[in-house]
Amino acid sequence: MSALIEIADAEKTFTMHLQGGVRLPVVRGVSFDVQPGECVVLAGPSGAGKSSILKMIFGNYRCDSGRIDILHRGARIDLANAEPRQILDIRRATIGYVSQFLRAVPRVSTLDVVAEPLLVTGVPRAEARARAGALLGRLNIAERLWSLPPATFSGGEQQRVNIARGFISNLPILLLDEPTASLDAANREVVVGLIAEKKRDGVAMVAIVHDDEIRARIADRLVDVAAFAAAA
């Protein structure tokens, strides 16, 4: 079995030039790997750098040093040192990301927001929309909302749209930043079910979950981010 994600000595510091160049070390020596079908949960207090690590694995934040090796289209590629077009291809074919908050393109309908990751991989529009509708239904988003852009939805509705968008494609890696944070019990159950299905499909997941009960149910392994604390 070979890891889908292999992180070695990754490091992140922000330099805030507008605040007199103050340096904010976030994490250092980040090293862990994730196997197919495994869900690794990042643990640690608020501000420890959990979301930053997910963003680094997605290529949204830069990595100052170290490696983030991703198994992409059958080959290992170091995302920390990849070209923008390689990162975009990795997002198309390998890594999905459910961010903490939905950042959707304005004025696009919910159904299309969810269908888009399928469309970019060449799935025909009708099929992509049908699958998007099925997933939205499963997440209890009323059909009358599907044609509206999600911008005016409630927090929990937006998060479910975000989850649908992240779970719709069959990508080998999925990153989840507090996917159940603003959901009610019934919808949390749906998400736990979706995660279990992804595991059975061999998807490698890295998740951040604050809820102890949910964490206990989805985590195969915990990685304590406090161990990577970079602050002097």
Query: φ, ψ for residue 24 (rounded to 5)?
Result: -120, 90
Judged by CB under 6 A, the residue of 10, 39, 48, 95 near ligand ATP is 48
Asked if residue 159 binds Mg ion (CB under 5 A), the reply is no
**How far is residue 108's CA from residue 119's CA, in Å, rounded to a whole number?**
14
Gap between the terminal Cα atoms of the chain: 37
Closest to ligand ATP by CB, 108 or 227 = 227
Choose from other proteins, Mg ion, ligand ATP, none: what does 154 bind? Cβ within 5-8 Å by kind: none
**How far is residue 41's CA from residue 208's CA, in Å, rounded to a whole number?**
6
Q: What minimum distance in Å lies between the beta carbon of 201 and Mg ion?
A: 26
Q: Site size for Mg ion, by CB under 5 A?
A: 1
Closest to Mg ion by CB, 51 or 169 = 51
Three-state DSSP at 198 gives: helix
Instruction: Please report, as a single letter, which amino acid is at residue 84.
Output: P
Asked if residue 149 binds other proteins (CB under 8 A), the reply is no
Asked if residue 87 binds other proteins (CB under 8 A), the reply is yes
Asked if residue 51 binds Mg ion (CB under 5 A), the reply is yes
The dihedral sign for the CA sequence 88, 78, 34, 1: positive
Residues 27-46: x where in contact with ligand ATP by CB under 6 A, - otherwise, as a string: -----------------x-x
Instruction: Please report, as a single letter, which amino acid is at residue 116.
Output: E
Of the CA atoms within 13 Å of residue 193, those in its CB half-sphere come to: 10
Asked if residue 60 binds other proteins (CB under 8 A), the reply is yes
Contacting residues toward ligand ATP, per CB under 6 A? 14, 24, 26, 44, 46-52
